[in-house]
């Protein structure tokens, strides 16, 4: 069953802990209206002012087969994984149905066991199926919780979706906040023009550049520059991710 989004007002965004204090993805507001999302860092510490993305996708777990028919109302779906899966690696993430029957539907994942290699795996969902799935045709993607194991945006192409900007050197595997809205300090990957649309640069890890028509339309949009930026330095950007 769907429920209201967890929201916290007056957060202290620089806090961190080794155990979770809130649900991942919780939306937080500072007293001045800036927005933050609660997350868990991946295996490397985050860097203040860096663009942060969701965990890297695992293409082996995309367009995988539904192993047995699942009726409307079912909360368990058996799939055939494309590679080894750690128990509950996708808990909090989503099962996205990628073709008919069920194409366009998606469900939040509650839990699942581990598999060794490509094998049968029972995915337990929070919500019941609204369209029946068949072993003959249905396929699904397994998608990580975007806030569980966040990493620096890569230097080349994205391997996940941009989810925020690091406020501090959040320790590896620790829980804390990343910023998603309002004024922040952001690393410039080139000369950035005040007032310009800022996008995540492809070519310099975790940095931003001014959007350019015909060149950067496919780059993730971050917000707009509040000051001019110099390559390799941080500058003020108004984030609009949330």
- Averaged pLDDT score across all residues of the chain: 95
Residue 213 and residue 192 share a domain = yes
Residue 181 and residue 158 share a domain = yes
pLDDT in tens, 102-161: 999 999 999 999 999 999 999 999 999 999 999 999 999 999 999 999 999 998 888 999
Please identify, among 95, 116, 143, the residue that sits at the C-terminal boundary of a domain. Answer: 143
Whether 123 is in a domain gets the answer yes
Whether 2 is in a domain gets the answer no
b/e code 108-144 from CB counts within 10 Å (16+ = b): ebbebeebeeebebebebeeebeeebeeeebbbbbbb
Residue 95 and residue 70 share a domain = yes
Q: Give the phi and the psi of residue 211 in degrees, each rounded to 5.
A: -65, 140
In the predicted model, is pLDDT for residue 193 greater than 60? yes
Mean pLDDT on 174-184: 97
Mean pLDDT on 59-67: 97
Residue 113 and residue 197 share a domain = no
Residue 46 and residue 30 share a domain = yes
Please identify, among 103, 121, 143, the residue that sits at the C-terminal boundary of a domain. Answer: 143
Residue 226 and residue 194 share a domain = yes
Residue 2: its pLDDT value, please? 52
Q: What band does 218 get if pLDDT is binned at 50, 70 and 90?
A: confident
Which residues have C-beta within 8 Å of that of residue 171, sequence separation ≥ 6?
16, 41, 45
In the predicted model, is pLDDT for residue 5 greater than 80? no
Q: In 3D, which of 105, 171, 114 has the Cα closest to residue 138?
A: 105
Whether 159 is in a domain gets the answer yes
Indicate the pairing of strand 139-143 with strand 94-97.
antiparallel
Please identify, among 123, 143, 163, the residue that sits at the C-terminal boundary of a domain. Answer: 143
Residue 47 and residue 153 share a domain = yes
How many structural domains are present in the chain? 2
Q: Which residues pair with 225 in a beta bridge?
A: 237
For residue 200, give its domain range.
Answer: 7-55+148-240
Whether 92 is in a domain gets the answer yes
Residue 117 and residue 89 share a domain = yes
By the 10 Å C-beta count (0-12 exposed, 13-18 middle, 19+ buried), 179 is classed as buried
* Rounded Cα–Cα distance for residues 213 and 211 (Å): 7
> What DSSP designation does 6 have?
P
Whether 134 is in a domain gets the answer yes
Residue 124: its pLDDT value, please? 98
Whether 89 is in a domain gets the answer yes
What's the Cα-to-Cα distance from 212 to each of 197, 200, 201, 207, rounded to whole Å? 9, 12, 11, 15
Whether 1 is in a domain gets the answer no
pTM over 0.75: yes
Residue 182: its pLDDT value, please? 97
Residue 1: its pLDDT value, please? 47
Are 115 and 121 in contact, with CB atoms under 8 Å apart?
yes
Residue 125 and residue 166 share a domain = no
Whether 19 is in a domain gets the answer yes
84: domain CATH number?
2.40.30
| Exposure on the CB side of residue 238, measured as CA atoms within 13 A | 9
Residue 72 and residue 24 share a domain = no
Residue 135 and residue 189 share a domain = no
b/e code 80-105 from CB counts within 10 Å (16+ = b): bbbeebeeebbbbbbbbbbeeebeeb
Residue 177 and residue 190 share a domain = yes
């Amino acid at each position: 069953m769907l429920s209201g989004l967890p929201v916290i007002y007056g957060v202290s965004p620089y806090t961190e802990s080794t155990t979770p204090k809130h649900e991942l993805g919780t939306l937080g507001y500072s007293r001045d209206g800036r927005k933050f999302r609660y997350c868990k860092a991946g295996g490397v510490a985050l860097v203040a002012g860096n663009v942060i993305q969701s965990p890297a996708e695992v293409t082996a777990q995309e367009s995988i087969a539904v192993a047995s028919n699942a009726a409307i109302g079912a909360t368990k779906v058996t799939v055939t994984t494309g590679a080894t899966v750690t128990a509950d690696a996708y808990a909090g993430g989503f099962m996205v149905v990628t073709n008919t029957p069920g194409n366009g539907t998606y469900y939040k994942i509650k839990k699942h066991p581990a598999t060794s290699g490509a094998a049968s795996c029972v995915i337990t969902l929070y919500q019941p199926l609204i369209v029946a799935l068949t072993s003959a045709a249905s396929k699904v993607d397994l998608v990580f919780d975007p806030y569980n194991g966040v990493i620096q945006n890569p230097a080349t192409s994205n391997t996940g979706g941009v989810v925020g900007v690091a406020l501090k050197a959040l320790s590896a595997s620790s829980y804390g906040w990343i910023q998603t809205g309002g004024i922040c300090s952001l690393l410039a990957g080139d000369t950035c023009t005040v007032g310009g649309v800022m996008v995540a640069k492809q070519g310099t890890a975790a940095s931003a550049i001014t959007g350019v028509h015909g060149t950067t339309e496919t780059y993730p949009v971050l917000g707009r520059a509040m000051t001019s930026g110099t390559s390799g330095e941080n500058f003020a950007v108004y984030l609009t991710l949330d």
